[in-house]
Amino acid sequence: MERRTFLTGAAGAAAVAGTGALVTPALAQGVMQWKMVTAWPKNLPGPGVAAQMLADRITALSGGRIEVKLYAAGELVPGHGVFDAVSEGTAELYHAVPAYWGSKSKGILLFGSQPFGLRADEQVGWLTHGGGQALYDEMYGRFGLKPFLCGNSGPQMAGWFRTEINSADDLKGLRFRTTGLASEMCSKLGMAVQAMGGRDMFQALQSGALDAGEFIGPWTDSALGYYQVAKNYYWPGVGEPSSAEECGVNLEVYEGLPDDLKQAVTFACESLYNPVWTEYTTKHAQALKQLVAEQGVMVKKLPDDVLIAMGNAAGEVIADLRDDSDELVKRITESFLTYRASIADYMVYADNGQMNARALDYTYGG
């Protein structure tokens, strides 16, 4: 969306002064110009696209009173610097994922994804109906931020591997790219975890600096070309059963808004959650077929003993969070576990039952 052009500069000021008129600056007219910094390359399929959607939607729902200009990773600040940039007031808001902010607090990581944790619908259910949003606000308030979930990738893949995985022993010493609590799970399995951006992951796989890595899923991963350097594409991505995308707004800026603009920002984030999630799901499905048919990608399931080993390691990670020295991290963990237990019991009869029935051998649609 093009930004409005306002009369600026010495020549313009002199012309106005000559007529005796008053200059009415943008802010006085009720128009705020916000900078959105993101963790993504511009228009990267998936998160880069979603970030632009959010910028456009805030501008539209505010009636143009907030004009949001997006800055991709590296244009204003590095991708992993967006949290601090908004906290410190360099920009008004960011688009990223909670999985990147574990150095701030381990409790933050639970709001993005949890190994063997919540699906995309369950994640927003926890925040909306299970008390999670109040804890999310409390944690981010420590850093001068107001957080919102604004999308989700859905279930991620386990990753791209240069060699086959036949047992949990094959994971030991494996140089692997991942983030968030999944990185802690992998470390407990003896993997050499490395954190890096999506483009850097491609280069590391290509050079042999990495043995394997996961980023998001087929739609985004195919755009980054991982299939060119690693043909084994493993599932399920139990490290991230879903991965929530978030918008962080500078808290002072947010609290200074009139109530209707607070609602505009809130609804812009909330209203994008399902469109972003369902776009990922739709395009992941399409991209996976193309990767297999056109690029020779081999889609493989992790052996059950590997998944069980991962589950046990994930359990240790969550136990560590329950014993954290920060009482807020403890409260976040207990809230997450309470919601997970409740929803998991129900899903046996609901979604699990439906999906298992759908997978049976029968004729459907001729």
Q: Which residues are annotated as a binding site for Na(+)?
A: 215
Helices marked H in 142-258: 180-188, 198-207, 218-224, 251-255
**DSSP character at residue 149:** E
The 3-state DSSP composition of the chain as helix, strand, coil percent (nearest 5) reads 50, 15, 35
Would you tell me how many other CB atoms lie within 10 Å of the CB of residue 207?
Answer: 9
Contact 167, 212 (CB under 8 A): no
Tell which phi-psi region holds residue 317, choosing left (phi > 0), alpha (psi between -120 and 50) or beta.
alpha
Q: Are 174 and 153 in contact (CB under 8 A)?
A: no
Dihedral sign from CA coordinates of 102, 39, 197, 301: positive
Give per-residue burial for 151-176: e unless 16+ CB within 10 Å, then b: bbbbbbbbbbbbeebeebeebeebbb
Annotated binding site: 156, 177, 214-215, 240
Annotated binding site for substrate: 156, 177, 214, 240
